[in-house]
Amino acid sequence: MTERAVCVIGTGLIGGSLLRAADKAGREVWGTSGSAATAEQARADGFDVTTDTDAALRRAAESDALVVLAVPLTVVPEVLRRVDAAAPTCRLTDAVSVKVAVADAVARYAPRSRYVGGHPMAGTAESGWVAGRAGLFADAAWVVVADDGLDLEVWADVAELAWACGARVVPAAADEHDLAVARVSHLPHLLAAVLAAVGAAGEDDLPLALAASSFADGTRVAGTRPELVLAMCEGNRDALLAAVDDALGRLGAMRGALASTGGLAATVHAGHAGRQRWAASRNPDGMRVPRGRTSLSALRDIGRRGGAVVGWAG
Amino acid sequence: MTERAVCVIGTGLIGGSLLRAADKAGREVWGTSGSAATAEQARADGFDVTTDTDAALRRAAESDALVVLAVPLTVVPEVLRRVDAAAPTCRLTDAVSVKVAVADAVARYAPRSRYVGGHPMAGTAESGWVAGRAGLFADAAWVVVADDGLDLEVWADVAELAWACGARVVPAAADEHDLAVARVSHLPHLLAAVLAAVGAAGEDDLPLALAASSFADGTRVAGTRPELVLAMCEGNRDALLAAVDDALGRLGAMRGALASTGGLAATVHAGHAGRQRWAASRNPDGMRVPRGRTSLSALRDIGRRGGAVVGWAG
């Protein structure tokens, strides 16, 4: 099996970690940053990073590398225009946290590319090249979009990159991915923001002085750079509205119960059951499928059952 | 200064940790458990724990020990009746997470006791004697109620116990404490429950399979035993309603902005600012005050400014 070369566009937390992880796995890998200072820092750390995106993409076209877009959603159209100019038929994936919007942008700006969307589900409240590390994706879920019609060979390229980075592959339809992450990734950021604002709303400093681990954990992701949260959440608006409405409905029902009977049992028990179901899902069955011979529909079903693909069979 | 003996009623996570910490600090300490199995386990671990609460309280009365109620709020009236029978004028504090309700119960069931409320702000999602450890209160805030009219000598006893356990003392009025913990301790449990329920609400397992650290942290306290959460939150109903309404208002405004303009900037920036204000409050000024010569009003002001008392001056 060829160890395909990797070209990473964007070297923030995710792109920078991906570059380090692919390098550590023995891949030929290079990257680009929009910031000269970041590129210099990455080179000082021993990585092949420049600010010349067009040159990096031409090199990807020449060596049939896998191009990974690890830039914010707002920058994706601009980068896709460059892809279409410099490497129009390249193998292409991304690490953006919403998938329908990126697929739409690819169809519009780089329609000849062989695109298979990806989303490594890892991150910290920190950001930037210096926050990255090769181990960021270890044991993480890495969504690889399995919509009908895409190129199974590139699907295999993306899966192999995820495995090389230590992750497990969760196949999913793009729209089902967006609904799922609205519930388990974007809503947590908004509830953390609301909680942090309520805690800091008082006139005196007593509440924050009394904040302990439940507040610390519940607001942790409110420490993420606001631009990153906004790009992620606003790019997933429709799915996020559904998740917010679900949360509002549950919170409103709880408010009513607290005011009328004083009882919170329904809320607390449902939450406890949800957390336990989550805990039980932590060690999914790691499946192996034949390379290039499993249908996209069968792959999607693996993800819907909470499973993951960890390698090729046979 | 006398190292006052300590009698701990209830040896779950908090009481069991308190017993261990006071013992480690060289105090004479004994405790009681409602469970014979727990008492036996504690004795096997080398601690003086029985199921005979009346005998433990009589011993406290004889040795002028500080009695600490570390039982759920629902059990407090029953224990207070025993206090009134076996040690009616004892030095009394507690570790319950709401303070107005306990003060009301003391006034009703043990009115002769010399009561000063306390609330060590520490805990984990685990519970029970086996989850306890001497270091649980290290660097934690320990509220000691400073309402007008209480006994400054017992206030000093409770503060010295908190310091012996490694905590810093945050003086507060009972009602201001309850409003503060509703925002920073009880609301986090309810939002965690709502988030966990939304994450687990789908028909397939994809959302939980994609849940990463933002969901894990945001739902951590939903793993707490429901009885403990219910006792804590339902005992603070009025203050909690105000905190829930604040959260509902902010979440509803955010929903409106997301649906109309698609913008989440106000929510995300307010949350980020709140988290930063919390982070900046993490290392409060540790103050020293003269023993027994600082007014309760001055003590309360220290807590309102976000400060803490860490020892006696002079």
Provide, as residue numbers in chain A, all residues whose Cβ is less than 8 Å from the Cβ of B202.
179-180, 183
Q: Calculate the average pLDDT of chain B.
A: 94
Cβ–Cβ under 8 Å, residues A92 and A67: yes
Interface contact B99, partner A, CB < 8 A: no
Residue B231 pLDDT > 90: no
Cα distances (angstroms) measured from residue B219 to each of A14, B189, B213, B287:
24, 8, 10, 35
Q: Cβ–Cβ of A254/B190 closer than 8 Å?
A: yes
- CATH 3.40.50.720 occupies which residues in chain B? 6-172+285-312
Mean pLDDT by groups of 10 residues along chain A of 314 residues: 88 97 97 97 98 98 98 94 98 96 97 98 81 95 97 97 97 97 96 97 90 93 91 90 97 96 93 95 88 94 94 92
Over residues B189-202, the pLDDT tens digits come to 999 999 999 999 97
Structure tokens at B280: 């900046």
- How many Å lie between the alpha carbon of A234 and the closest alpha carbon of chain B? 6
Q: Cβ–Cβ of A207/B184 closer than 8 Å?
A: yes
Element (DSSP H or E) covering residue A310: strand A308-312
B312 CB-contact burial (10 Å; exposed 0-12 / middle 13-18 / buried 19+)? middle
Q: Cβ–Cβ of A206/B264 closer than 8 Å?
A: no
- Which is more confident, B95 or B262? B95
What pLDDT sits at residue B212? 85
Nearest CA among B216, B195, B209 for reference residue A142: B209
Over residues B238-280, the pLDDT tens digits come to 999 999 999 999 999 999 999 998 889 999 999 999 999 999 9
Over residues B156-178, the pLDDT tens digits come to 999 999 999 999 999 999 999 99
Instruction: Name the B residues in 163-202 with CB < 8 Å from any A CB.
Output: 170, 172, 176-177, 179-181, 183-185, 187-202
- How many Å lie between the alpha carbon of A77 and the closest alpha carbon of chain B? 19
Interface contact A218, partner B, CB < 8 A: yes
Considering the domain delimited by A178-263, tell me its CATH architecture. Answer: Orthogonal Bundle (1.10)
What pLDDT sits at residue B2? 60
Q: Which of A214, A224, A262 has its CB closest to that of B188?
A: A214
- CATH 1.10.3660.10 occupies which residues in chain A? 178-263
Taking the alpha carbons at both ends of chain B, their separation in whole angstroms is 13
What pLDDT sits at residue B1? 47
Give the pLDDT band of residue B95 (cuts 50, 70, 90): very high
Fold designation for B6-172+285-312: Rossmann fold (3.40.50)
Interface contact B101, partner A, CB < 8 A: no
Separation between Cα atoms, residue B77 and residue B7, nearest integer Å: 18
DSSP-assigned beta bridge partners for residue A92: A67, A115
Q: Which residue of A has its CA nearest to B243?
A: A198
Which of A264, A277, A285, A301 should one mutate to test binding to chain B, selecting the residue with the greatest count of B CBs within 10 A? A264
Residues B276-288, mean pLDDT to the nearest whole number: 89
Provide, as residue numbers in chain A, all residues whose Cβ is less than 8 Å from the Cβ of B214.
123, 184-185, 188-189, 192, 220-221
Instruction: Name the A residues in 5-44 with CB < 8 Å from any B CB.
Output: none
Over residues B48-61, the pLDDT tens digits come to 999 999 999 999 99
Provide, as residue numbers in chain B, all residues whose Cβ is less than 8 Å from the Cβ of A234.
258, 262-264
Q: Cβ–Cβ of A269/B241 closer than 8 Å?
A: no
Could you tell me how many residues make up chain A?
A: 314
- CATH 3.40.50.720 occupies which residues in chain A? 6-172
Provide, as residue numbers in chain B, all residues whose Cβ is less than 8 Å from the Cβ of A273.
196-197, 200
What pLDDT sits at residue A2? 60
Provide, as residue numbers in chain B, all residues whose Cβ is less than 8 Å from the Cβ of A261.
none
Q: Which of B141, B190, B209 has its CB closest to that of A210?
A: B141
Instruction: Name the B residues in 256-275 with CB < 8 Å from any A CB.
Output: 258-259, 262-265, 267-275
Fold designation for A6-172: Rossmann fold (3.40.50)
Q: Which of A172, A226, A251 has its CB closest to that of B194?
A: A251
Provide, as residue numbers in chain B, all residues whose Cβ is less than 8 Å from the Cβ of A201.
183, 246, 274
Q: Which of A188, A217, A258 has its CB closest to that of B221?
A: A217
Amino acid identity of residue B179, one-letter, is: L
Q: Cβ contacts of residue A290 below 8 Å, gap of 6+?
A: A312, A313, A314
- Widest distance between CA atoms in chain A: 70
Q: Cβ–Cβ of B185/A215 closer than 8 Å?
A: yes
Q: Cβ contacts of residue B301 below 8 Å, gap of 6+?
A: none
Q: Which of A176, A264, A274 has its CB closest to that of B197?
A: A274
Cβ–Cβ under 8 Å, residues A192 and A220: yes
Q: Which of A121, A123, A267 has its CB closest to that of B194?
A: A267
What pLDDT sits at residue A16? 97
Q: Which residue of A has its CA nearest to B244?
A: A255
Q: Which long-range contacts (CB under 8 A, 24 or more apart) does B249-258 make?
A: B250/A194, B250/A197, B250/A198, B251/A190, B251/A191, B251/A194, B251/A244, B251/A247, B251/A248, B251/A251, B252/A248, B254/A190, B254/A194, B254/A244, B255/A241, B255/A244, B255/A245, B255/A248, B258/A234, B258/A237, B258/A240, B258/A241, B258/A244
